[in-house]
């Protein structure tokens, strides 16, 4: 359990205009007591230093390369996020870590329910390619196709953004927290896309690597296929080195896997992979299926690409396709007095926009549309730091006539 702490508040210009936007998937609630989302509301915001203990505890329940129960590593990620958002750290060394607070239905202090991160993708990936070969022998002439995994480095001036580290506390699984965090991540990208392009560079795609580690924290694809190509380095050493001195590409990966002189790019014939590795390539683990569904809902699709170290399946999207997927509609925010937003009111996901990135807020909360106004309860209105009649951008919100009344 945590109290809310905004460590960057002094940076905000109170005179600056602020706008909010929200992603929908809204529906009328027939009976709040039987609500499938048992909370007053959720808030996603940039991680604060006071989140360290909870972030580390949540990481201990998952087994992801980007989420380890290592205090020092999580402390560094939070500091990277704070400094990246403030503009003090380049995206090539930075990331954004969003934490989700759950405000319980029956009262009590807020709890950190999960987190997700946004980071630039560096280096390259394995791309599956099909090549044709002609076998021409006396009495035998035939064509055969052969699948290979070939190292594909990023272009020097083209970047990707990665959806990573989605983790939900076991205490709050089954409450659609992962769906909310995926929406919050998408909204951050859409609402700050110009800032991201200015600071990152040309962003050609969005992607996620959907493979989790084995129970013992080891990666069979790396150990049996990639490790011999990287000088027999331990996975964690290779993972750290691939981000060293990075631009869009990774000098470390290029040194071992890209073409050098007469040496071609690294390429692995798929038929030579061990049977279990070949059969498991691209398989999404059971505990990651929910994340896959959330990404597909946002327009991400499976690609013939795999993580260069662990062989994880890539799902890809673009900012433009994500933008088309989440349609917008504008309202003006209005603070409602107690009782003016009923317990049966529509629940939506909404996020602040037109603010500097350090002050991003996303919330899932009940509201009442009324003409061009959107009525929000006092608690949510204050949580989002709104002013009367600030504009709000609605993403695909829907409500029944009864819920609107």
Share of the chain above pLDDT 70, in %: 86
- Which pLDDT band, with edges at 50, 70 and 90, does 36 fall under? low
Distance of alpha carbon 327 from its chain centroid, rounded? 19
- 289-297 and 177-191 helices cross at what angle (nearest 10)? 40
Domain membership of residue 142 (yes or no) is no
Q: 152 Cβ partners below 8 Å, 6+ apart?
A: 124, 125, 126, 127, 305
Domain membership of residue 311 (yes or no) is yes
CA distance 103 to 384: 14
pLDDT higher than threshold 60 for residue 88: yes
Between 397 and 29, the more confident residue is: 397
pLDDT higher than threshold 60 for residue 241: yes
Domain membership of residue 135 (yes or no) is no
Domain membership of residue 136 (yes or no) is no
For residue 49, what is the domain's CATH number? 3.40.630.30
Domain membership of residue 143 (yes or no) is no
User: Residues 181-198: what's their mean pLDDT?
Assistant: 94
CA distance 103 to 106: 9
Name which of 95-104, 275-284, 296-305 the model is least confident about. Answer: 275-284
CA distance 194 to 248: 18
Quote the pLDDT of residue 18: 35
Q: How many domains does the chain have?
A: 1
Give the chain's mean pLDDT. Answer: 84
Full domain range(s) for residue 206: 9-130+149-404
Domain membership of residue 141 (yes or no) is no
pLDDT higher than threshold 80 for residue 242: yes
Domain membership of residue 58 (yes or no) is yes
- What pTM did the predictor assign? 0.85
- Which pLDDT band, with edges at 50, 70 and 90, does 261 fall under? confident
Domain membership of residue 137 (yes or no) is no
- Which pLDDT band, with edges at 50, 70 and 90, does 353 fall under? confident
Quote the pLDDT of residue 327: 79
Q: Answer for the pair 264, 152: CB distance below 8 angstroms, yes or no.
A: no
């Amino acid at each position: 359990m945590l109290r809310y702490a905004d460590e960057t508040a002094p940076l905000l210009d109170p005179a600056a205009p602020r706008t909010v936007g929200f992603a929908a998937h809204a529906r009328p609630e027939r009976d709040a007591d039987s609500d499938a989302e048992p909370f007053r509301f959720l808030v996603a915001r940039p991680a604060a230093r006071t989140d360290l203990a909870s972030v580390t505890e949540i990481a201990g329940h998952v087994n992801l390369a980007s989420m380890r129960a290592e205090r020092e590593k999580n402390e560094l990620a939070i500091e990277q996020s704070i400094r990246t958002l403030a503009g003090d750290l380049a995206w090539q060394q930075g990331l954004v870590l969003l934490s989700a607070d759950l405000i319980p239905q029956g009262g009590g202090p807020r709890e950190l329910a999960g987190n997700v991160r946004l980071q630039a993708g560096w280096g390259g990936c394995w791309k599956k390619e099909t090549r044709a070969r002609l076998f021409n022998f006396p009495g035998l002439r035939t064509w055969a196709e052969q699948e290979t995994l070939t190292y594909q480095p990023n272009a020097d001036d083209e970047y990707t953004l990665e959806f990573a580290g989605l983790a939900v506390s076991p205490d709050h699984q089954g409450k659609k927290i992962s769906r909310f965090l995926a929406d919050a991540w998408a909204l951050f990208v859409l609402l700050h896309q110009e800032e991201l392009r200015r600071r990152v560079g040309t962003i050609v795609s969005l992607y996620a690597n959907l493979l989790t580690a084995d129970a013992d924290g080891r990666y069979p694809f790396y150990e049996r296929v990639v490790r011999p190509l990287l000088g027999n380095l331990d996975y964690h050493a290779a993972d750290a080195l691939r981000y060293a001195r990075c631009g869009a590409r990774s000098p470390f990966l290029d040194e071992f896997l890209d073409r050098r002189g007469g040496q071609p790019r690294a390429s692995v014939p798929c038929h030579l992979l061990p049977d279990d590795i070949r059969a498991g390539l691209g398989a999404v683990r059971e505990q990651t299926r929910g994340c896959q569904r959330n990404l597909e809902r946002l327009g991400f699709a499976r690609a013939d690409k795999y993580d260069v170290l662990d062989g994880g399946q890539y799902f890809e999207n673009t900012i433009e396709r994500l933008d088309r997927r989440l349609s917008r509609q504008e309202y003006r925010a209005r603070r409602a007095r107690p009782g003016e937003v009923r317990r049966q009111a529509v629940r939506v996901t909404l996020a602040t926009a037109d603010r500097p990135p350090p002050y991003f807020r996303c919330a899932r909360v009940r509201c009442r549309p009324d003409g061009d106004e959107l009525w929000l309860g006092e608690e949510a209105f204050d949580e989002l730091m709104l002013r009367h009649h600030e504009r709000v951008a609605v993403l695909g919100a829907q409500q029944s006539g009864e819920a609107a009344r």
